[in-house]
Amino acid sequence: MNINKVTTNILKNKTLLWGLEKISQHGTSFSAGTSLLLSLTLRPLAINSTFDVEKENKQYAMSNSICSGLMKFGIIEAVAIPIENAIKKIDNNPQKYLNPETVKSLSPRAYNLITQTMKLGAGLLTAIPKSMLTVALIPIVMDKIFGNKYSKDSKVTLKNKDFQGNFTGRLSNGISKIIDNKSVQNFAEKYKNYDKDIAKHITASTDVLLTSASALRIEKSKDIKENRKRALIYNNVISTAITLIGGYSVDSIIKNKTGKFLEKFKEVNAGNPKLSKYIEGINILRPALIFAGIYYGILPMLSTFLAEKIDKNINKI
């Protein structure tokens, strides 16, 4: 068997390339969808399996996971899909939306850096409203799933008109003006070689902002029991801190180990006009799976256990 021929066939597989292109086009949706699936399944199961933790603290942590996944997916999708579709229009017809000088002078890698940042930035832009709605929904989930009653005074509404709108066409024109901006182009050209890390950095920034905003909302919430607030806050902070440290470390190791794979992938698909999109898909896929694997699979039992112990020890002081 010719190993090189088999490897080439795998790396040129149409299904693989199609999947990478879709991840490139819908990176935020892919990350949000992955988070939704794992926040509804793997993370609650892991939290529930944690030993030596009070039942109600587990329930709050599981409710937080469920609400966080639902709100992240719902709100981000409402913002991300129009942005992704608007950028896709520019991708398919740059001459229509961009200045001729931009089409001529802006390198594909710099263009991908700009558009990838805008697509992935949807998570960062929606972090604060997402955290507000997540915390507001926690008491409702505690009531409906775990039978833990909450105050009916608080109202949570999510109206379509607040987050939806048919503005994709206008977005394409607005985004094209950003891409045409010389300062943006110069910045992108300067840092275009860092495009493989942009997904990781935006994910980390979003997680930090989400955790900070959630901690403030939990502290102010009137529907979360006072004696459960600090354990829930500690759980979120510990989860984010360890995820970021572990995620960056593992990602660096994997990135170094897969350097030859990427070079081979580029070589095999050198003549493909969508090569830059496939590489962008790989750069989104890698950190998304690493961070999700740590946050939703490995970490929940540790963070839930530590959060309870820290809370109890502080109460003794």
Q: State pLDDT tens for residues 178-197.
A: 899 999 999 889 888 877 77
Question: Structural domain tally of the chain?
Answer: 1
What pLDDT does 202 receive?
Answer: 83
What pLDDT does 168 receive?
Answer: 58
- The sign one gets for the Cα dihedral 293, 294, 295, 297 is positive
What is the residue type of 127?
A: A
Closest to 61 in 3D by CA, of 216, 292, 242, 233: 233
What pLDDT does 317 receive?
Answer: 58
Look at the block and give the residue holding tokens 């009653």: 149
**Going by C-beta distance under 8 Å and a sequence separation of 6 or more, which residues neighbour residue 263?**
none
Residues 164-181: tens digit of each pLDDT: 334 456 778 888 988 999
Domain that holds residue 229: 3-316
What pLDDT does 154 receive?
Answer: 45
What is the residue type of 162?
A: D
Residues 223-256: tens digit of each pLDDT: 898 889 989 999 889 988 888 888 788 777 777 7
Point out the residues of the chain with pLDDT beneath 50: 1, 151-167
Residues 279-289: tens digit of each pLDDT: 888 888 887 78
What pLDDT does 62 receive?
Answer: 93
What pLDDT does 160 receive?
Answer: 42
Put simply, whether the predicted model's pTM sits higher than 0.85 gets the answer no
Question: How many angstroms separate the CA atoms of 69 and 42, rounded?
Answer: 12
